[in-house]
Amino acid sequence: MPPTRAVVLLSGGLDSSTCLAIALSKGRDVLALTVDYGQRHRKEISAAKAVAKRLGVKEHKILKVDLAQFGGSALTDERIGVPTGRTEKEIGRGIPPTYVPARNTVLLSLAIAYAEAAGADEVYIAANFLDYSGYPDCRPEFFAIFREVARLGTKRGVEGRPTRIHTPLIRTRKADIVRTGAKLGVPFGLTWSCYHGRAKACGVCDSCKLRLKGFREAGLEDPLPYETPPKG
């Protein structure tokens, strides 16, 4: 039998790169999908290309959907500041301005469309509900409902073969994501997590702080260069 085909949403960050490695480790025939949605940290798109190439992904599509036209997020509108210097207790409390309206709804819709067109049975997304920034579309209940959307709103679903949506990291601490990625050979030095697209990661935005926390607790060194050197 041919291997199961799977679409993996790949942003180029730590989590999505680990999610990609997990799908590959399961023997999936992976189709990587990166969405250029007008994010200010466009460096992650180049990171996604590099990670996909390093891990041997045969098909990697980059799809442009310009959510920046809507604004409403610090990640798509440079007039809105990216929060920096928040403590671990502050991160995850409330919904920060880096939330992109309905981003995961849009990304998953594109992924199941791609999967259906390509004959893929699965979609992988690296959403995480622990050590995260408080985004509402990263919650397990959101994905439970979206699985119903895929079942009811696609030809595959109506025919009794709905696309299976996997969230392998949904309840995984960042340190364990780092450990899993290291075990599976994720090229951490090629990934990009910072909400800024500068030459070096800032080290003080929520995403950088969560990433650094994960490496610190995993007992590993993050190979990325930082503008603000990590403490401890």
Of 230, 187, 228, 171, give the one whose Cα is nearest residue 12.
187
pLDDT at 232 over 60: no
Model confidence at 231: pLDDT above 70: no
pLDDT at position 93 over 90: no
Higher pLDDT, 64 or 40: 64
pLDDT surpassing 80 at residue 228: no
For residue 188, the tally of other CB atoms under 10 A from its CB is 21
In this structure, of 91-95, 172-176, 197-201, the range with the lowest mean pLDDT score is 91-95
* C-alpha triplet 10, 71, 143: angle, nearest 5°: 45
Per-residue confidence band for 41, with pLDDT thresholds at 50, 70 and 90:
confident
- Does residue 230 register a pLDDT over 80? no
| Mean pLDDT for the chain overall | 94
What pLDDT was estimated at residue 182? 98
Q: Position of tokens 């997990």?
A: 22
* Per-residue model confidence as pLDDT tens digits over 59-74: 999 999 999 999 999 9
Q: How many CB atoms lie within 10 A of CB 177?
A: 27
Distance separating alpha carbons of residues 8 and 5, to the nearest angstrom: 10
Query: With 80 as the cut, is the pLDDT of residue 105 above it?
Result: yes
SS3 95: coil
Q: Establish how many alpha carbons lie within 13 A of residue 221's alpha carbon, considering only the half-sphere containing its beta carbon.
A: 4
Positions of E strands within the chain: 5-9, 29-36, 59-64, 122-124, 164-166
Tokens of 150: 């895929």
> Which pLDDT score, from 0 to 100, does residue 213 have?
94
